[in-house]
Structure 1
Amino acid sequence: MTSRFISFRHGGTSGHGIVRDGGVVDLSARFATTFPDQQGLLREGAFARLADETAGLAPDHALEDVVFAVPSLTPEKIICVGVNFPDRNAEYKDGQEAPPNPSLFPRFLRSFTAHDQPLIRPPESVQLDYEGEIALVIGKPGRRIAERDALDHVAALTLANEGTIRDWVRHAKFNVTQGKNFDRSGALGPWLVPFVGEAQIADIALTTRVNGELRQSDRTSRMIFSFRKIIAYVSTFTTLVPGDILITGTPTGAGARFDPPVWLEPGDVVEVEAEGIGLLRNTIADEV
């Protein structure tokens, strides 16, 4: 089974570990000096080594006794790709073919919450929407990375619900940053899956369900801009460093595209799932 590295809270203490046998081997306790968080695993390329070294260890905590946390990375950058599936591009009534380069925007770490934690609907708007996506975590620095070498810079995979406040993406003429960065309006997780090869992501299903109803479904082989292209393009203008996260685009089917639109409400459950990576689940709650 693919190794799954989580960040968590247990008994008031933050930690990180590896999921095994229905529990968590606490790497932050066993390797406190060398690997106090997941950022250290990225820098040292230590996922495979620690998976091997801990293979015979019994879990330190039951999985149901820990609270999932956002991966304990310190990304210098979180960059998101917009409109990266053909059917998603077709939603725009401008008659254009797929654009030659990806549309990009930043998200801040504070805009994300963890697996099994609520996405927060702010008092400024009821238009909270979902976007299920695959996220690449950079492990090797690089600038102007060639497409042929791009995947060598990926250390891990995770999932994102790139939650969006729809009316706030229209507050200005050209950018969507405001509507993409309300605190805890999106989610990352549930864990990091080490990246071992292109077959992991070349043609896998990506789905989003709301209250059990399938809303989004597509395959990565249909992406307009491949994972390689995204890494190469972004690294043209900025140096990618370990911990950076690239969120790679969502299929069609968001709530904004229903007639009338269907927004997320308190009590709803959103599940983003991708083959070989996992399932990211969140409820919805109003900001207190």
Structure 2
Amino acid sequence: MKLLRYGPAGEELPGMLDREGRIRALRPIVSDIDEDVLSPEGRRFLAAVDVAQLPVVPGAPRLGPPLRRVREIIAIGLNYRDHALEADLPIPAEPLVFSKSTSSISGPNDDIVLAPESAQTDWEIELGIVIGSVASQLGQDDAMASVAGYCVVNDVSERHWQLQRNGQWGKGKSFDTYTPIGPWIVTPDELTNPQGLALTLSVNGQARQRGHTQDMIFSVAQIVSYCSQFMTLRPGDLIITGTPAGVGLGMKPPVYLAAGDVIDMAITGLGEQRHVVR
């Protein structure tokens, strides 16, 4: 299933994408795409629904973040060797974990608004993992059962705040609009191998990032298991799994986003995002 939310910001309604690419309305069957819907029981309920009987949403409405409330954003840094090398940082021996503020979340095609006086805002395409059930101290063999689905995420990063303002990386990654999510959540019954996905990102039509999740240092199962060792993961948590090489910071000289730039990005089977920078 591909679960989404559509409509004006703050007024989004729940929906599902059918096989023809049309949005089908899910209200009043469900109130929103929330923890209840993403639970194993909720997904089984929706899987039994006859999608053809749901109303087609007319036109091309704005798509919002596909989850009503993200509890917290858990981010994994330097999870592709080529990205660690371009950043001139050591290859992690275990997952490098940091957090982003949920206030940075925006829709998959919303504008990215540069942080005040930013001259070093960068792009990072990432695979997102949405947690659907409580996970605590799970082994790798059990970790995947807690995953409700996957999505495209842009881990937009203001490098000056991230690297030169002391403290944790989250300061450079938590500005408003710096975490676009979507266009939808794809459930594991439809996407069975998260380590078989191509990631692509371009800026103003020029290819910047070309990666593949098979090259992740730590797999989805390893990441979920690892995080569950020191924190209880709960429905609505979002884990973003790192970015491949090709970010602006790694270019020589570095190249960063400016007002008017257009970012296009996609992950196999998970859809596309497009953003105008302003």
Query: TM-score, normalized by length of structure 2?
Result: 0.92
Q: Which residue does the alignment assign to 2:179? A: 186
Equivalenced residue count is: 276
Cα pair 1:45 1:155 within 8 Å, conserved: no
Cα pair 2:40 2:133 within 8 Å, conserved: no
- Distance in 2 (CA, whole Å) between partners of 1:80 and 1:10 is 27
Alignment of 1:204-243 (within 5 A): 204-243=197-236
Partner amino acid for 1:254?
V
Q: Which residue does the alignment assign to 2:252? A: 259
Which of 13, 16, 28 aligns to 1:18? It is: 16
- Distance in 1 (CA, whole Å) between partners of 2:88 and 2:250 is 12
Kindly provide the CA deviation profile for residues 53-83 of structure 1, in whole angstroms up to 9, marking residues without a partner as x: 132225431251x111112332322100000
Higher share of residues assigned strand = 1
Cα pair 1:120 1:184 within 8 Å, conserved: yes
CA drift of 1:195 comes to 1.4
Partner amino acid for 2:15?
G
Q: Which residue does the alignment assign to 1:200? A: 193
Q: Which residue does the alignment assign to 1:85? A: 80
- Distance in 2 (CA, whole Å) between partners of 1:11 and 1:163 is 20
Alpha-carbon spacing, 1:130–1:10, altered in 2? closer, same or farther (3 Å) = closer
Q: Which residue does the alignment assign to 1:143? A: 136
Which of 104, 115, 122 aligns to 1:122? It is: 115
Divergent runs of 4+, >4 A: 10-13
3-state SS, counterpart of residue 117 of structure 2:
coil
Q: What is the identity percentage for the equivalent residue pairs of Structure 1 and Structure 2?
A: 30
1:278 aligns with 2:271: yes
Alpha-carbon spacing, 1:10–1:27, altered in 2? closer, same or farther (3 Å) = farther
3-state SS, counterpart of residue 172 of structure 2:
helix
Larger displacement relative to structure 2 (174-183 or 127-136): 174-183
- Distance in 2 (CA, whole Å) between partners of 1:176 and 1:147 is 27
C-alpha root-mean-square deviation of aligned residues, in Å?
A: 2.0
Cα pair 2:105 2:179 within 8 Å, conserved: yes
Cα pair 2:78 2:92 within 8 Å, conserved: no
CA drift of 1:246 comes to 0.4
1:50 aligns with 2:46: yes
Alpha-carbon spacing, 1:149–1:262, altered in 2? closer, same or farther (3 Å) = same
* Unmatched segments (≥5 aa) in structure 2: none
* Unmatched segments (≥5 aa) in structure 1: none
Kindly provide the CA deviation profile for residues 135-194 of structure 1, in whole angstroms up to 9, marking residues without a partner as x: 000011111110111111101110100000110012444421110101112311111111
Query: TM-score, normalized by length of structure 1?
Result: 0.89
